[in-house]
Structure 1
């Protein structure tokens, strides 16, 4: 099965894509702040669940910083699970230089649909070494940005929560340009807020 087998997507895809998310951390007081500790490993919302893949499953890939499995049946009739991944774009010894869309970017966030032929997938037992066998292509979302590793991990958590709350959709089949633009705006405005919470105003 390949990602070109696109059926009639949930109408909520358009609803979520139409939501221009100014800053993810402003949507609710329950949202984790960009500097918040401790780590959150599972989130549940009206549209599904998201669970963090244990880091030891990708410990042999130092570029991988975070992975989430999102289970959300609403977004597509043929598959209901997605991988949200976060990688560092740093130059690492013994590995080819990463592809950077523009100078200065430090991290990349990606969202893939997961092939239902091999599922269902559980975060606790997910084999990240076989990720290329499980994902459907093309990639749904890919966005590069500049921040610290910790800010990037916090951002990934916020994005996973936004998916299960219906604020972002992991599925792009209906309106890919519009949906990817919503992700892009949410990611960059959230990071801008983390750098300057007062948006240039005095405290």
Structure 2
């Protein structure tokens, strides 16, 4: 399931709560959050840019199976617990929020179609698919 949840400053965060039992025997639910780095967010402090000119960042976390996000609930306040470190994270450049969403949606579509795994063991494939982005997880 995907949903856009604006925060108090109007920034849109895209959430994908995807159940994929075949990706890992224990971690079957994942959270993908997409952030617009160009909109100030005082509650998170100063954005750290690892890639000059980056406009967006996304992170993909496996979720603790004992603290999942309820279906269709907002991200904040749901009590979920992502596993740390994230499976993936990238900063990248996009011409607009819509272009960034479309790029991330392609990854989600690949996961749903079981052509791309959210499991961290596939980092080299993700890095090839996102060769123009800066990987935040090494």
Query: If the length of structure 1 is used for normalisation, what is the TM-score?
Result: 0.57
Q: Select the residue among 83, 99, 102 that pairs with 2:48.
A: 99
Asked if the contact 2:15–2:33 (Cα under 8 Å) also holds between the matched residues in 1, the reply is: yes
Q: Larger % of helix: which? A: 1
Query: If the length of structure 2 is used for normalisation, what is the TM-score?
Result: 0.80
Summarize the Cα distance change of 1:93–1:143 in structure 2 as closer, same or farther, 3 Å threshold: closer
Q: Does 1:134 align with 2:84?
A: no
* 1:109 aligned partner: 58
- Determine which structure has more spread, i.e. the larger CA radius of gyration: 1
Asked if the contact 1:63–1:90 (Cα under 8 Å) also holds between the matched residues in 2, the reply is: no
Alignment of 1:6-45 (within 5 A): none
Separation in 1, partners of 2:50, 2:79: 22
* 1:182 aligned partner: 125
Unaligned runs of 5+ in 2: 133-138
Q: Larger % of strand: which? A: 2
Separation in 1, partners of 2:22, 2:75: 25
RMSD: 2.2
Summarize the Cα distance change of 1:93–1:81 in structure 2 as closer, same or farther, 3 Å threshold: closer
* Helix, strand or coil at the partner of 1:154: helix
The structural deviation recorded for 1:149 is: 1.1
The structural deviation recorded for 1:97 is: 2.0
* Helix, strand or coil at the partner of 1:129: coil
- The number of aligned residues is 130
